[in-house]
């Protein structure tokens, strides 16, 4: 349960992983391989612009907001995903020292805990909301939790708030949130809004296979959906045609 699939971190943590491997090999240097073009592309999509708005939704530029502890946050997310909670929390502590106890930091602590202890995770999410009720990532994660509880209406509210407050430049997280919003609408049999959300997600990242599949399987090619809704929206057509 996370908004940060490990593959997105692969390029960011490569150096870190390399030095660990070197340590394991008794200090023998290991071959440094350049990032593949695909990794490079993911890295660029994922790392905010230095002078662009910070993805935490503070309204500040990334450089003057979360950039200082970004590496530590990424390490923490990776460690947490791989099941190393203590290591993740150590990285988060370092990030917190650099950035301060912001909603973003509290939310990242929540993500670390979310893999093993939902109670602790919820505690951090609530603290993050107290600091900033509109913090996009916190709302996104609360949306995921609401889906787990099959409370789709609540999930829709959280996802919408996240979408409203992620910077418009943050296509990766907006795409992800629109995709989840689409699924939540679909679960409530609201095909019109599901279609709109998934199509919005596709406009943000036209190569997204998961979103494309959702649209085709659940909407365009789904006989349960009324015919007039199954029509591919004109603004989507160019992405679909380019792929086929
Ligand atoms: Zn920030």
pLDDT mean over 180-191: 97
pLDDT mean over 1-11: 50
- Which of these three, 117, 150, 183, is where a domain ends? 150
CA torsion sign for 199, 200, 201, 204 is positive
Max mean pLDDT range (55-59, 159-163, 237-241) = 159-163
CA 52 / ligand 1 centre spacing (Å)? 11
Residue 13 lies inside a defined structural domain of this protein: yes
CA 66 / ligand 1 centre spacing (Å)? 4
According to the model, what pLDDT value does residue 1 have?
Answer: 41
Q: Are residues 178 and 138 in the same domain?
A: no
Residue range(s) defining the domain that contains residue 85: 1-150
Residue 155 lies inside a defined structural domain of this protein: no
CA 209 / ligand 1 centre spacing (Å)? 29
Q: Are residues 33 and 86 in the same domain?
A: yes
Q: Are residues 123 and 175 in the same domain?
A: no
CA torsion sign for 146, 126, 79, 100 is positive
Q: Are residues 41 and 77 in the same domain?
A: yes
Each residue's pLDDT tens digit, 28-47:
655 656 777 777 777 677 77
Residue 131 lies inside a defined structural domain of this protein: yes
Each residue's pLDDT tens digit, 72-98:
998 898 889 889 999 999 999 999 999
According to the model, what pLDDT value does residue 5 have?
Answer: 46
According to the model, what pLDDT value does residue 104 have?
Answer: 97
The yes-or-no verdict on residue 24 having pLDDT over 70 is no
pLDDT mean over 56-76: 93
CA 106 / ligand 1 centre spacing (Å)? 12
Q: Are residues 123 and 199 in the same domain?
A: no
pLDDT confidence tier of residue 164, bands split at 50, 70 and 90: very high
Residue 53 lies inside a defined structural domain of this protein: yes
* Residue 167 contacts residue 66 (beta carbons within 8 Å): no
Q: Are residues 29 and 114 in the same domain?
A: yes
The yes-or-no verdict on residue 218 having pLDDT over 90 is yes
Residue 162 lies inside a defined structural domain of this protein: no
CA 229 / ligand 1 centre spacing (Å)? 39
The CATH number of residue 109's host domain is 1.25.40
CA 197 / ligand 1 centre spacing (Å)? 26
CA 60 / ligand 1 centre spacing (Å)? 7
CA 102 / ligand 1 centre spacing (Å)? 8
Q: Are residues 199 and 242 in the same domain?
A: yes
pLDDT confidence tier of residue 57, bands split at 50, 70 and 90: very high
pLDDT mean over 9-26: 56
Q: Are residues 52 and 127 in the same domain?
A: yes
CA 176 / ligand 1 centre spacing (Å)? 19
Q: Are residues 198 and 93 in the same domain?
A: no
Residues comprising the chain, all counted = 244
Residue 34 lies inside a defined structural domain of this protein: yes
CA 157 / ligand 1 centre spacing (Å)? 23
According to the model, what pLDDT value does residue 36 have?
Answer: 75
Residue 156 lies inside a defined structural domain of this protein: no
Q: Are residues 132 and 178 in the same domain?
A: no
CA 220 / ligand 1 centre spacing (Å)? 38
Taking every pair of C-alpha atoms in the chain, what is the biggest distance, in angstroms?
Answer: 65
The yes-or-no verdict on residue 179 having pLDDT over 70 is yes
Residue 208 lies inside a defined structural domain of this protein: yes
Tokens of 152: 């789709």
Q: Are residues 102 and 134 in the same domain?
A: yes
Of 92, 142, 153, give the one whose Cα is nearest residue 118.
142
> How many CB atoms within 10 Å of residue 182?
27
Query: How many domains does one find in the chain?
Result: 2
């Amino acid at each position: 349960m996370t908004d940060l699939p490990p593959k997105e971190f692969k390029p960011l943590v490569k150096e870190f992983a390399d030095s660990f491997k070197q340590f394991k090999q008794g200090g023998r240097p290991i071959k440094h391989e350049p990032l593949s073009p695909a990794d490079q592309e993911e890295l660029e999509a994922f790392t905010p612009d230095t002078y662009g708005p910070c993805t935490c939704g503070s309204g500040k530029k990334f450089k003057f907001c979360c950039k200082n502890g970004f590496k530590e946050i990424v390490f923490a997310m990776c460690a947490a995903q791989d099941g190393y909670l203590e290591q993740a929390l150590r990285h988060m502590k370092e990030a917190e020292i650099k950035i301060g106890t912001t909603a973003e930091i509290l939310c990242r602590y929540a993500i670390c805990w979310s893999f093993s202890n939902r109670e602790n995770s919820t505690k951090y999410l609530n603290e993050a909301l107290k600091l900033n009720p509109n913090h996009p990532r916190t709302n996104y994660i609360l949306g995921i939790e609401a889906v787990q509880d099959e409370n789709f209406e609540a999930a829709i509210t959280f996802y919408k708030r996240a979408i409203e407050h992620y910077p418009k430049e943050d296509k990766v997280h907006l795409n992800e949130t629109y995709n989840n919003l689409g699924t939540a609408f679909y679960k409530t049999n609201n095909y019109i809004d599901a279609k709109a959300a998934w199509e919005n997600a596709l406009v943000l990242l036209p190569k997204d296979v998961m979103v494309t599949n959702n649209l085709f399987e659940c909407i365009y090619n789904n006989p349960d959906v009324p015919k007039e809704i199954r029509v591919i929206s004109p603004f989507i057509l160019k992405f679909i045609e380019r792929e086929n």
